[in-house]
Structure 1
Amino acid sequence: MNIKSITPTEVAEKLNQKHPLFLLDVRESNEVAICRLENSVHIPMNLIPLYLDKIPDEIDIVLYCHHGVRSLNVANYLAENGFDTDYLYNLSGGIDAWALTVDTQMPRY
């Protein structure tokens, strides 16, 4: 699959420009309790198959996890299950990169 990467800075710019994004957090609940992106939807990676109908299509979807590995796997899974790769983006470096570059006050783990 050809899943596009997007940097934290690019996501922040899109959000500032009110570009419609579906932020999909695929981390575990204990990770989300530490930090999360505002207005993101949390569906743990292992529950994605049960919630495919809760994920919109025809809108840019930015998937993220801690460092970007799990979210890339989920993005590939979505593509294999009919989601258009034109709308799928993996947050490069995950929420950790976001905390390092966009929101330096965000707790890291």
Structure 2
Amino acid sequence: MELKEAWEKLQSGEVGLIDARETEQFLNEHIPGSLCAPYSPYSWGRSISRYLRDYPKNVLVVAGKGLGEKVRKELEENGFQVLAVIEGVEEWKRSGLPVSGVQEVEPERIMENLDEWEVIDVREPYEWNYGVIPKALRIPMNDLPDALGRLDRNKKYAVVCQHGNRSLSAALFLADNGIRAVSIAGGMERWIAEDLPYEFPED
């Protein structure tokens, strides 16, 4: 399958895309809309099939060097039809197709350059009562898809949650939708522990 055809099918929802590389590689650069599922020699294909019961059975796969056939075999043994295996994302990029990525940034780096960032707090409303970064946009993670149209694509967003896990997922979602975003490492827990400015919401 040609890469441009693969991208069209991915965009239309006809196929899924499983990225079996290491998490760090995925975060650095990945194909928008792909699912991060680092390969493991221990029942990886079986675990994927359980986890992705409602996922398309026709899939594309991004694999690290030398792992393509192992990944293909395990997926096909567990009910998937692998349409193509893509080794890394270099050829994808050379074809002019999009990639996205996200970084975790230390809280003090964000604070030092806070005028360059718009902060999005993706915690639940009750969590904001523990303290929020001044002027942060408060958008619970589940509401983020509906808020995409309100975000300025010319700005950079720093996403924060309580511990740093949800913010990483949220920043990935924003990046995959063409918005520049990073995740604040350690979340509000670390922000407060490092005695960086925060306030309590009035409402």
TM-score (norm 1): 0.83
The answer to which structure, 1 or 2, has the higher relative contact order (CA under 8 A, 6+ apart) is 1
Is the counterpart of residue 26 in structure 1 residue 122 in structure 2? yes
| 4+ aligned runs moved over 6 Å, structure 1 | 104-107
Determine if contact 1:3/1:90 at 8 Å carries over to the other structure: yes
Gaps of 5+ in 2: 1-29, 31-100
User: SS state of the match for residue 78, structure 1?
Assistant: helix
Is the counterpart of residue 55 in structure 1 residue 55 in structure 2? no
- In structure 1, the partner of 2:191 is 98
Aligned pairs (5 A) from 1:1-109: 1=30, 2-15=101-114, 19-83=115-179, 87-103=180-196
Percent sequence identity over aligned pairs:
28
Letter of the structure 1 residue corresponding to residue 174 of structure 2: L
Gaps of 5+ in 1: none
Letter of the structure 1 residue corresponding to residue 104 of structure 2: S
User: SS state of the match for residue 57, structure 1?
Assistant: coil
Letter of the structure 2 residue corresponding to residue 81 of structure 1: N
Determine if contact 2:134/2:198 at 8 Å carries over to the other structure: no
Q: 1:106 deviation in Å?
A: 7.2
Letter of the structure 2 residue corresponding to residue 100 of structure 1: A
Q: 1:58 deviation in Å?
A: 1.8
Distance 2:194 2:149 in 1: 32
Aligned residue pairs total: 101
Q: 1:82 deviation in Å?
A: 2.4
Distance 1:104 1:73 in 2: 24
Distance 1:51 1:60 in 2: 15
* Cα RMSD after superposing both structures: 2.0
Letter of the structure 2 residue corresponding to residue 52 of structure 1: L
Determine if contact 2:161/2:187 at 8 Å carries over to the other structure: yes
TM-score (norm 2): 0.46
Q: Tell me: CA distance 1:90–1:70, structure 2 relative to 1, closer, same or farther (3 Å).
A: same
Deviations 1:49-80 (A, max 9, x none): 11111222121210000011101111111122
